[in-house]
Structure 1
Amino acid sequence: MRFLADMGISQHTISWLHRQGFDAVHLRDENLQRLSDNKVLAKAAMENRVLLTMDLDFGYLVAISKQILPGVIIFRLSDERSEMATSRLSEVLVKCAYDIQPGVIISVSDRTIRIRRLPI
């Protein structure tokens, strides 16, 4: 599984993914921190990566698109520190591994994981 992290995701989470054997890049690694949301989605799709984000706009953009866009994992956490995001991501990877695919939005809160397959 390949991941692309948006600016709200910590580099520590990307390092954790690397230690778990995943291919993961952060927008900052490629000096793309100012890339528009649409271009971030296009990059994730072109590179066959699941987008990790804390930005709710991505869920909306994927939902209204007429295309199958990359899978998106959106973190909606009250505590956005990297330790919490990494812990919740670890749970998602165990519980939802087969659901992480193009056209799927996974919304992760403090207590729940919600999976939505498009179209909604």
Structure 2
Amino acid sequence: MKLLLDENLIPGFSAILQELGYSARHVYDVGLDQTPDEEIIAFARSSGETILTNDLDFTRIMALSKEVFPSIITFRLGALNPTLFREIVQHNFDQLIEPAEEGNLITIDDGGIRIRKLPLYR
């Protein structure tokens, strides 16, 4: 699973992911900071990356697009600090590899993990 972190996530989160064995980079790393979400989605689709974000706009855009990729992992946890982020990745990300590769909207919140297959409207 290749991961692209949106600008609303701490850039250091990509280093945490890399330390844990995941291929990850931040939008700053590829010159996509201050870029519209639609362009980030197009970039992730062409590069085969799953987007990690706190931004619900990515989910809305993908739902309306009727596209299958990229997968979006949305964190809905309030204050997401590096310690909590590392814990979530260590305990949950191995089970998200297959859903991310198949095209899904994945939400991680206080209630757990929800996975919705893309496209939402068939």
TM-score (norm 1): 0.89
The Cα RMSD (Å) is 1.6
With over 3 angstroms needed to count, the CA separation of the structure-2 counterparts of 1:35 and 1:48, relative to structure 1, is same
Task: Tell me how far 1:102 sits from its aligned partner.
Answer: 4.5
SS in 2 for 1:4: strand
- Once structures 1 and 2 are overlaid, which stretch shifts more, 37-46 or 79-88? 79-88
- Once structures 1 and 2 are overlaid, which stretch shifts more, 66-75 or 76-85? 76-85
What count of residue pairs does the alignment treat as equivalent? 120
CA distance in 1, matches of 2:89, 2:57: 19
Task: Tell me how far 1:8 sits from its aligned partner.
Answer: 1.4
Aligned to 2:27: 27
CA distance in 2, matches of 1:48, 1:63: 18
| Unpaired stretches in structure 1, ≥5 consecutive residues | none
CA distance in 2, matches of 1:25, 1:35: 15
Q: Is residue 82 from structure 1 mapped to residue 102 from structure 2 by the alignment?
A: no
CA distance in 2, matches of 1:100, 1:90: 16
CA distance in 2, matches of 1:63, 1:103: 12
CA distance in 2, matches of 1:88, 1:116: 19
| Unpaired stretches in structure 2, ≥5 consecutive residues | none
CA distance in 2, matches of 1:80, 1:2: 21
With over 3 angstroms needed to count, the CA separation of the structure-2 counterparts of 1:39 and 1:57, relative to structure 1, is same
Aligned to 1:72: 72
TM-score (norm 2): 0.88
- The sequence identity of aligned pairs, in percent, is 29
